[in-house]
Amino acid sequence: MNSQINDLLFRLLDETPNAFGVFDSNNQLLYCNANMASVFGLSRQQAKGLTHRELMRNAYSSGLGVRIDSEDFEQWINDVESRQRLDPVRTFESGLMNGEWLKITQVTIDNHLVLIGTNITELKDTEARLRAALEELSDVANTDVLTNAANRRHFFNRAGEELARAQRYQHPLCLMLLDIDYFKQVNDLFGHHAGDQVLQFFARFYENGLRKIDFFARLGGEEFVVLLPETQLHDAMTLANRLRKQLALQSIYTMPEEQKIQITVSTGVSQFEGSGDSVQTLLSRADEALYRAKAHGRNCCEAAAPWPAAG
């Protein structure tokens, strides 16, 4: 009866879709089915009798079976084997070189190590698709549909993070508020379709002129904003004037109207003043400077005066 049960159990282990293997107290492989042998890039006959280290070294050298992302195999295997028998049961995930994934359950019984691997490739693929879908939804929620710039909501989230960082480490931070001059005239003279193309061009122009750490967003209408981390007011004004002058030299060709349009921009620049500052006070001071830029004839930059109440 016992012999019959043993035969059935071994047949079950051979035919199960799971990977199964048993190592003795010296980490030598006593038994494995074909699926476990393939984890090491070997056949059952080749795998039997080898130690866990030898099996892993074969997979590492041949580039078959389990994926080992390390340039130093000895250090990697020492770390792996040092954790093998710390807990009676341990679970982890392993990627295979063929793109599949296994969930490995490691059980220690009388100092023998039992490994059971369940294929979770379909689950990992589903997780990846869900992550991609969530990232896409996040991008949609944070992006202005017309210009592909960050939208108002995204700006306030990011500005809060940057302001908190500036406050925590006492680092400089500046904000540029941009308003396209006489934009209503563009719509009135050339139509809203041309106006949309002007907005799209403006967004591309500014994003291409900024650093990777800078953050550009559309607040609404023809009004845009730029966050400049690690930037002093003098440097922010230099950048604002450089981009303003370059923009005035650009020609925008709209389609299908085939109109050639040139635009200018007015800019107000404010800087982080201290712990009493907020995103709204930065915006308000930049808006006050922007108002002065427009009053001075537009196509110019003005720096905001510091608020005594800040800091």
Residue 132 maps to a domain: no
Q: How many CA atoms lie within 13 A of 194 on its CB side?
A: 21
What's the N-to-C CA distance of the chain in angstroms? 85
Query: Do 93 and 150 fall within a single domain?
Result: no
Q: Does residue 134 form part of some domain?
A: no
User: For the chain, what is the radius of gyration of the CA atoms?
Assistant: 32
The pLDDT, as a whole number, for residue 309 is 52
pLDDT of residue 311: 43
Q: pTM to 2 decimals?
A: 0.65
What's the pLDDT at 1?
Answer: 52
Structural domain of residue 299, as residue ranges? 143-303
Statement to judge: residues 173 and 249 lie in one domain:
yes
What's the confidence (pLDDT) of residue 310? 44
Together in a domain, 201 and 231 = yes
Q: Please indicate, yes or no, whether residues 43 and 97 belong to a single structural domain of this protein.
A: yes
Q: Do residues 177 and 246 share a domain? A: yes
Q: What is the domain count for the chain? A: 2
Phi and psi angles of residue 158, each rounded to the nearest 5 degrees, phi first = -70, -40
Strand order in the sheet with 89-95: 29-32, 19-23, 112-119, 101-109, 89-95
Please give the pLDDT value at position 11: 77
Residues 151 and 260 in one domain: yes
Q: Are residues 109 and 158 in the same domain?
A: no
151 and 278 together in one domain: yes
| Neighbouring C-beta atoms of residue 59, cutoff 10 Å | 21
- Whether residue 89 lies inside any domain: the answer is yes
Q: Residues in the chain with pLDDT < 70?
A: 1-2, 4-5, 308-311
Whether 74 maps to a domain, the answer reads: yes
Residue 225: inside a domain? yes
| Residues that are catalytic | 222
CA distance 307 to 311: 9
Which CATH number covers residue 7? 3.30.450.20
Residue 287 and residue 269: Cα distance in Å, rounded? Answer: 8
Domain shared by 84 and 158, yes or no = no
177 DSSP β-pair partners: 225, 268
d(CA 87, CA 260) in angstroms, rounded, equals 72
- CATH of residue 167's domain is 3.30.70.270
pLDDT tens for 224-263 read 999 999 999 999 999 999 999 999 999 999 888 788 999 9
